[in-house]
Structure 1
Amino acid sequence: MRFLSLLLLSAALPVAAELRVENLEAKRSEWETYRFPLFKGDSAAIGRINTYLHAVVLNGLPGRFERSPFERIWPKDGEIRGTNNIDYMIDGRGPGYLSLSVTGEYTGAYTSTGTFTYPFDLSSGRPIALEQLFTAAGLQRLGESVGLERGKRIEAFLAELPPPVDATAELDEHDERLETQREMYKDCLPRRHSADLQYNRVELRGNALALIAEGCAAHVVRALDDLGEYRNAIPYAQLAYDFSPYGRCLLLEQRSDCQYPADLRAGGAYHGKIDSRYAISLVLGGNVYASSSYFYDRYARQIELSAQNVSADRVRLLEGGDTPAVFDLHLQPDGSLIGTWQQEGGKALAVELR
């Protein structure tokens, strides 16, 4: 393991004068390589960032493993299913935020590569969602603008394709490729033209917000997707009118004292106890790609949860298994969570998390 010093913060910040990251690394073969961050610092915020990332990506808690931090995700001996390699990149950092991307290759029914982005508020250690950065009207305008640009890109590509061949004609390989592309992009156009940014990855860069949507092709025809992913980078200065007070403070004014607007839909890591006795770590996935789970700290074994009835200040989480259980949690003004955990047929136990 080696250390990389990242000068992210000024001395006035509550988290640390200097945020460092330890590179957790492993190599199983020439093509099975793994690298992942462990952020170093004394604040609770840094601990929350580590807990969130390690639970969502590595299926474990920071520092709680037998042989390797990656042992829960890499293929088991004699099998191919699992994560074959993983790496990360710091996309942007400011006085009040940290944004990183994690790219990995996974083998299931087939091998595929994917990238996921994770922007964090440095004062709280919580993930940042677009809904926190923008007013409702501003987010709608942003979605419409991005959708219009992406729609024009697809329409321009379709306009350059040769006219369709006669329906009765026999298609050669070249014609089949063109017709597959035509149908693929026609089908994709309404989705990319939509103002809905729910499935976009979010990168907070030095002076611009980047929104990335996946390409139009399914895995089996990915080689035909000449347009690839859809990336739109908008300078913060152009978004000034659409930002919420938090968004302006964090990204336009580049301040470290911004008041994080707590919202359970953004997700986050929480630590506390069930029944004042059982120490747990709870992770709310937040976005559509990240799953929720919790750990009894004594055992550090991940227990998956499915979320229901998620709102800005309330969440209901279902635990499966032989004896199902339910978390009912409510967000407090100070950012903590209180509520209950109850197994089927059992007594409701008090939960307090921060």
Structure 2
Amino acid sequence: MTIPIKALLSVNLRFLTLLLSVHLVPAAIAAAPSGPIVVKAITYKGSLPYAESGDARRDARINNRIFLDMVEQPAPARYSDRIKESKEQDGLQGSSDFSFSVLRNDDRVLALEVDAEGCGAYCENYSRQYNFDATTGRSIAASDIFTPAGGAALLKRNLTKRMVEYRRAIAGLNKDATAYRKKHRITTPWPQPRPDTKQDEEELRIASTIAMYEDCLESMPDSGKYYRLTEIPLRIDGESITFLYGRCSNHAMRALDDVGDQKVAYKNADLAPYFTAYGKYLMMNGPQAAPRVDPYRQILKGRVGQAAITLHLSERYSDDSLSGIYFYDKYRKPIALSGRVTGDVIELTESESSDTLKPLIRATIQGDKLEGLWIGDKTLNFRAAP
């Protein structure tokens, strides 16, 4: 029997369609973006952000990153669980009065800012910035979005801008002091000592503030050498990125410091020469690109033996030290870690353990994954990955 060519082509076309549906549709589904992220408020010593999108793994990365950092507890597994106050700890150095702002929330970036009051030897307000890849929930650092050369150039520009701010503040104070002497008919030019050797409270305030700012200026070039791109907080919104620097003054001199925290802002368009491909993807709607691969600053999932765990590592600091925190998913009790990195091997000790020999994690870094051993009263396999 002879099969007509038209019928044969029809069969082959149907077979090809079926083949494509089997092999390509799952890939398309896998590549499809997750739903939008909704940021809700959880009441706990004020209000903390909680991300929900239907993508449980992405949501957990975002929420655990914030909660482990701000209150040293795992985020609630579900929004309805809320957060239970720990009997053993009272949050990070007694932090309270939490509030937050959503700075950006679109298909590429979720950016949040959390404000709080922290109390140790004294109480002080502070803020933390949390920037996430909206597709994966991965934390974003400055070193992810700026090239090494671009980051170094920006840090240099930032230092210049910050020093200019101090110099302007000093010039303004000298102008105020000159006007003050003129108003009080003191003929001795500022800043020469007055012939009566007196210095009232206003002149003392001005002189003390100028001395503080001059000390800041003197120390800034040296301190700038030790700033690493990964350690500088970024405030990201829809159109700009702001580098944030803490004030130069200590707590005792804070009342004199009108410069305070410093901010250096840039429009995204002006940062194009400094961005990595991943930075252009996130900040300028560029083509999709992957971030650099390492395990630091991320929420990792893994196992100790057969027990499921969640792990968060800090940045790898300039002396190769680092800290972390992990918990067993079943018990959700945070365990503090401290350690260091040698070559591609990371060692983390359960720093607050009461055991004579504190349990130790020794693992090899493989890209953004860790694989090795948990060594305690027994030795168990350990692994963790995004």
Flag whether TM exceeds 0.5 (same fold).
Answer: yes
- Map 1:86-105 to 2 at 5 A: 86-105=98-117
- Aligned partner of 1:317: which letter? L
Deviation at 1:70, TM superposition (A): 6.0
Amino acid at match of 2:279: G
- Structure 1 Cα separation of the partners of residues 365 and 136 of structure 2: 14
**Which amino acid in structure 1 is aligned with residue 374 of structure 2?**
W
Matching residue of 1:316: 347
Post-superposition CA distance 1:253-290 (Å, at most 9, x none)? 256x431222234x111112112x222111113388x9
Give 3-state SS (helix, strand or coil) of 2:49's partner.
Answer: strand
In the TM superposition, what is the alpha-carbon distance from 1:353 to its structure 2 partner? 1.7
Q: Cα RMSD between the aligned structures?
A: 3.0
Aligned counterparts of 1:104 and 1:263: Cα–Cα separation in 2: 30
2:259 matches 1:259? no
Q: Is the 8 A contact 2:365 2:371 kept in 1?
A: yes
Among candidates 196, 221, 226, match of residue 258 of structure 2: 226
- Match status 1:127 vs 2:139: yes
Greater percentage in helix: 2
Distance 1:47 1:75 in 2: 22
Instruction: Indicate if the aligned counterparts of 2:304 and 2:374 stay in contact, CA closer than 8 A.
Output: yes
Is the counterpart of residue 328 in structure 1 residue 362 in structure 2? yes
2:312: which partner in 1?
Answer: 283
* Same amino acid, percent of matched pairs: 25
Distance in 2, Cα, partners of 1:225 & 1:21: 35
Please point out which of 300, 303, 306 is paired with 1:270. Answer: 300
Which deviates more from structure 2 when the two are superposed, residues 323-332 or residues 225-234? 323-332
Change (3 A) 1:64 1:94: closer
Is the Cα contact below 8 Å between 2:115 and 2:126 reproduced in 1? Answer: yes
Alpha-carbon distance between aligned partners in 2 of 1:238 and 1:352, rounded to the nearest angstrom: 41
Partner AA of 2:216 in structure 1: C
Deviates more, 1:40-49 or 1:139-148: 40-49
More strand by share: 1
Q: Which residue of the partner structure matches residue 51 of structure 2? A: 39
1:154 aligns with 2:166: yes
Q: Which fold has the larger relative contact order, with Cα–Cα distance below 8 Å and residues 6 or more apart in sequence?
A: 1
1:175 maps onto 2:203 in alignment: yes
| Superposed CA offset, 1:191-245 (max 9, x none) | 5453635553211211111111112221122111111211111011111111111
SS at 2:253 equivalent: helix
Q: Look up the equivalent residue of 1:71 and give its one-letter code.
A: E
> Given the alignment of the two structures, is residue 240 of structure 1 paired with residue 272 of structure 2, yes or no?
yes
**Rounded Cα–Cα distance in structure 2 between residues aligned with 1:330 and 1:42:** 33
Cα distance between partner residues in 2 of 1:353 and 1:172: 63
Long gaps (5+) in structure 2? 1-28, 175-189
Contact 1:15 1:45 in 2 (8 A): no
Q: SS in structure 1 opposite 2:139?
A: coil
Q: Tell me if the contact between 1:279 and 1:298 (Cα under 8 Å) persists in the aligned partners.
A: yes
In structure 2, do the counterparts of structure 1 residues 132 and 341 end up closer, same or farther at CA, with 3 Å as the change threshold? same
TM-score, length of structure 2 as denominator length: 0.75
Report the CA distance shift for 1:167/1:268 in structure 2 as closer, same or farther (over 3 A): farther
Deviation at 1:298, TM superposition (A): 1.9
User: In the alignment, is the contact (CA less than 8 A) between 1:15 and 1:42 conserved in 2?
Assistant: no
**Contact 1:58–1:72 under 8 Å retained in 2:** no
How far apart are 1:21 and its partner, in Å? 2.3
Secondary structure of the 1:240 match is helix
- Please give the alpha-carbon distance, in whole angstroms, between the structure 2 residues aligned to 1:95 and 1:325: 41
The 3-state SS of whatever aligns with 2:95 is strand
Q: Name the SS of the counterpart of 2:131 in structure 1.
A: strand
- Asked whether the 8 Å contact 1:339–1:350 carries over to 2, the reply is yes
Deviation at 1:328, TM superposition (A): 2.6
TM-score by length of 1: 0.82
1:71 aligns with 2:85: yes
Which of 64, 75, 80 pairs up with 1:51?
Answer: 64
**Count of residues in Structure 1 that have an aligned counterpart in Structure 2:** 326
Cα pair 1:86 1:102 within 8 Å, conserved: yes
For the pair shown, the structure with the greater C-alpha radius of gyration is 2
Which residue number corresponds to residue 339 of structure 1?
372
Matched to 2:382, the amino acid is V
**1:139 has 2:139 as partner:** no
Please say if residues 294 and 369 of structure 2, whose CA atoms lie closer than 8 Å, have aligned partners that are also in contact: no
1:84 matches 2:84: no
Structure 1: give runs of 5+ residues left out of the alignment. Answer: 1-10, 27-32
Q: Structure 2 vs 1, CA of residues 123 and 338 (structure 1 numbering), >3 Å: closer, same or farther? A: farther
Asked if the contact 1:50–1:62 (Cα under 8 Å) also holds between the matched residues in 2, the reply is yes
Q: CA deviation at 1:73?
A: 9.4
Partner of 1:351: 382
Aligned counterparts of 2:119 and 2:310: Cα–Cα separation in 1: 29
